[in-house]
Amino acid sequence: HTHTHHPDHPVNPPQSTQSPWVVEIPEDLNYSIRPVHGVFEVFPTTESTEPLPYQYTRLPDFVQDMQMMCSMIADGPLKSFCYRRLSYLYSKFQLHVLLNELRELASQKAVPHRDFYNIRKVDTHIHAASCMNQKHLLRFIKKTLKNSADEVVTVTKGTPMTLAQVFQSMNLTTYDLTVDMLDVHADRNTFHRFDKFNAKYNPIGESRLREVFLKTDNYLNGKYFANIIKEVASDFEESKYQNAELRLSIYGKSPDEWYKLAKWAIDGNVYSDNIRWLIQIPRLYDIFKTNQLMSSFQQILDNVFKPLFEATNNPSKHPEIHTFLQYVIGFDSVDDESKPENPLFDGDVTPPADWTDVENPPYAYYIYYMYANMTVLNHFRAARGMNTFVLRPHCGEAGPVQHLVCGYLMAENISHGLLLRKVPVLQYLYYLAQIGIAMSPLSNNSLFLNYDRNPFPEYLARGLVVSLSTDDPLQFHYTKEPLMEEYSIAAQVWKLSSCDMCELARNSVLMSGFPHKMKQHWLGPNYTREGVAGNDITRTNVPDIRVAFRYESLLDELANIFKVNNEQKMQYASQQ
Active site amino acids: 416
Q: How far is Cα 2 from Cα 168, in angstroms, rounded to an integer?
A: 67
Contact status, residue 557 vs residue 89, Cβ threshold 8 Å: yes
Q: How far is Cα 516 from Cα 520, in angstroms, rounded to an integer?
A: 6
Q: How far is Cα 506 from Cα 534, in angstroms, rounded to an integer?
A: 11
Closest CA to 438 of 456, 450, 458, 457: 456
Q: How far is Cα 58 from Cα 40, in angstroms, rounded to an integer?
A: 13
Contact status, residue 131 vs residue 475, Cβ threshold 8 Å: no
Compute and round to an integer the Cα radius of gyration of the chain.
25
Q: Which residue(s) pair with 437 in the sheet?
A: 414, 466
What are the residues whose beta carbons fall under 8 Å from the beta carbon of 511, sequence distance 6 or more? 122, 124, 413, 436, 438, 465, 467
Half-sphere exposure of 416 (CA within 13 A, CB side): 27
Q: With the C-alpha atoms ordered 218, 219, 222, 228, is the resulting torsion angle positive or negative?
A: negative
Helix (H) or strand (E) holding 568: helix 544-575
Q: How far is Cα 466 from Cα 292, in angstroms, rounded to an integer?
A: 41
In DSSP notation, 171-201 reads T--TTT--HHHH--S--GGGTT-HHHHHHTT
CA end-to-end span of the chain, whole Å?
55
In DSSP notation, 35-59 reads EETTEEEEESSSS--SPP------H
Closest CA to 352 of 305, 288, 298, 302: 298
Q: How far is Cα 507 from Cα 334, in angstroms, rounded to an integer?
A: 23
Q: How far is Cα 82 from Cα 259, in angstroms, rounded to an integer?
A: 47
Contact status, residue 283 vs residue 334, Cβ threshold 8 Å: yes
Note the residue count of the chain: 576
Closest CA to 160 of 152, 150, 168: 152
Q: How far is Cα 323 from Cα 304, in angstroms, rounded to an integer?
A: 17
Q: How far is Cα 509 from Cα 488, in angstroms, rounded to an integer?
A: 18
Q: How far is Cα 59 from Cα 344, in angstroms, rounded to an integer?
A: 11
